[in-house]
């Protein structure tokens, strides 16, 4: 019998869309992330990613002819990738509730579904212009390319939500509203209520705000509208 954690929760969302903030907030509520990054130059509290998961996702994307910024038409998990995924789960088998966060997970979710039929989800999204500005600042990605990536990732996010109806948050909400939504997610996921008044969310670290829809392609505006309708 394959060893694995009692529960596994995937935090889903596009790069620069609040996944780190959501993941850190859930970590405060008892979600186990294993060994994760707690600082980097573009995220002072860390992206909360477990590097072993990121490395596996990068290998799958590369072997499928793509990368995080060049999503392949289809991400194919080889037998070796599946074996590596099982080893990762076995490495965290002592965890009651394990979470993993990596935006690439949206591109490779099929393999995790096959390994974990009872995989749970929580998602987050952000205004496309804010994501585009943040990607340009971090990775020098031009606006049109960044918006195309926003659409590619969030189209998958919305498709998965339509199938599973998991908790979905909007990172454009102001701090008190966002934290209230996090508390709702914590209850829905049966995690521990956050006792500390000092929350993970820090509005001073949120450097790019939501912008107008003016100038956005129609399909991007419509997808953002659908995500807003689906969110808590």
Q: Is 99 helix (H, G, I), strand (E, B) or coil?
A: strand
Q: How many CB atoms lie within 10 A of CB 180?
A: 11
Q: Where are the domains of the chain?
A: 7-230
d(CA 197, CA 84) in angstroms, rounded, equals: 39
Strand partners, 11: 101, 122
pLDDT at 42: 44
pLDDT at 37: 52
Q: Is 11 helix (H, G, I), strand (E, B) or coil?
A: strand
Q: Which CATH number is 7-230's, of 3.40.50.620, 3.65.10.10, 3.40.50.300, 3.40.50.720?
A: 3.40.50.300
d(CA 98, CA 80) in angstroms, rounded, equals: 22
pLDDT at 2: 75
d(CA 183, CA 193) in angstroms, rounded, equals: 7
- How far CA 179 is from CA of 46, 143, 168, 223, in Å, comes to 18, 30, 13, 24
Q: How many CB atoms lie within 10 A of CB 222?
A: 11
pLDDT tens for each residue of the chain, 232 residues long: 579 999 999 999 999 999 999 999 999 999 999 887 554 544 445 567 889 999 999 999 999 999 999 999 999 999 999 999 999 999 999 999 999 999 999 999 999 999 999 999 999 999 999 999 999 998 899 999 999 999 999 999 999 999 999 999 999 999 999 999 999 999 999 999 887 777 888 776 665 566 667 789 999 999 999 999 999 9
Of 178, 167, 224, the closest CA to residue 202 belongs to 178
pLDDT at 39: 44
Q: How many CB atoms lie within 10 A of CB 107?
A: 22
198: left (phi over 0), alpha (psi -120 to 50) or beta: beta
Strand partners, 225: none
């Amino acid at each position: 019998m394959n060893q694995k954690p009692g529960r596994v929760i995937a935090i889903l969302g596009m790069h620069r869309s609040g996944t780190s903030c959501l993941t850190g907030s859930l970590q405060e509520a008892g979600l186990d992330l294993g060994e994760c990054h707690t600082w980097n130059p573009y995220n002072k509290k860390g992206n909360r990613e477990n590097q072993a998961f990121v490395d596996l996702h990068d290998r799958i994307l590369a072997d499928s002819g793509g990368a995080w910024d060049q999503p392949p038409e289809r991400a194919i998990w080889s037998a070796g990738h599946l074996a590596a995924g099982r080893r990762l789960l076995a490495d965290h088998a002592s965890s009651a509730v394990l979470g993993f966060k990596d935006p690439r997970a949206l591109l490779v979710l099929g393999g995790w579904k096959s390994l974990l039929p009872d995989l749970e989800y929580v998602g987050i999204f952000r205004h496309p212009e804010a994501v585009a500005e943040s990607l340009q600042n971090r990775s020098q990605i031009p606006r049109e390319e960044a918006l195309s990536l926003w659409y590619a990732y969030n189209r998958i996010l919305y498709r998965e939500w339509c199938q599973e109806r998991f908790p979905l948050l909007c990172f454009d909400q102001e701090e008190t509203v966002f934290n209230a939504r996090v508390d709702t997610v914590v209850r829905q996921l049966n995690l521990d209520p956050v006792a500390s008044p000092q929350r993970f969310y820090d509005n001073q670290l949120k450097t790019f705000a939501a912008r107008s829809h003016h100038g956005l392609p129609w399909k991007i505006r419509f997808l953002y509208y659908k995500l807003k309708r689906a969110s808590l």
